[in-house]
Amino acid sequence: MLFISGGEIVLVMMLALLFFGSKAIPDIAKTLGKGMREFKKATNEIKREFEDNTGDFKREINDIRSTVKTETKKISQDIDQVSSKMKNEANKLTKEVEQISTEAERTTTKLEKEVDDASAKVEKKTTKLEKEIDEVSSDLEDKTTRISQDVDEKIKDQ
């Protein structure tokens, strides 16, 4: 730490002994010891006051931290519940849509078949009516031709 070797420490001790004398060194050491003790005591006092003053802040911060955690947990649970309900509702709606879609497909298929059947019936009746019309028309032409011939004969006879 101080980068002082053993020889340097001995040299400093010798100089102190020469300057202060052998009787003064114990008093100086005693005074230095008291000063260090007072310094340590003052340092500990400052630390204690600092911890006392910041202890309130630490407690408040811990209280706030625990409140935030509690509220966050509640919010998370609420979100999970809402999410679960929404998933259930979405699944229900999906099933309902699938059922409606299936029913619509069945109904569409049934209606297409009914339309095809009705179309076939209409086509048959149309064909039958066309034949009947052709027959009636042919009969009318025949009758008209005969009537015309009869009229022409009667006109000739007169």
Residue 112 lies in a domain: yes
Residue 18's identity, in one-letter code, is L
pLDDT at residue number 25: 80
Q: Is-contact 25 17, C-beta < 8 A?
A: yes
The torsion angles phi and psi of 94, rounded to 5 degrees, stand at -60, -45
Residue 96 lies in a domain: yes
pTM equals 0.42
123 is in which domain, residue-wise? 7-153
pLDDT at residue number 143: 87
Residue 11 lies in a domain: yes
Provide the Cα torsion 52, 58, 64, 69; round to 10°.
Answer: -140
Residue 1 lies in a domain: no
pLDDT at residue number 43: 93
Q: Is-contact 54 63, C-beta < 8 A?
A: no
pLDDT at residue number 84: 95
Sites in the chain below the pLDDT cut of 50: 1
pLDDT at residue number 13: 80
Residue 113 lies in a domain: yes
Residue 158 lies in a domain: no
pLDDT at residue number 50: 83
Residue 140 lies in a domain: yes
Q: Is-contact 16 25, C-beta < 8 A?
A: yes
Split into its structural domains, the chain has a count of 1
Residue 79 lies in a domain: yes
pLDDT at residue number 2: 59
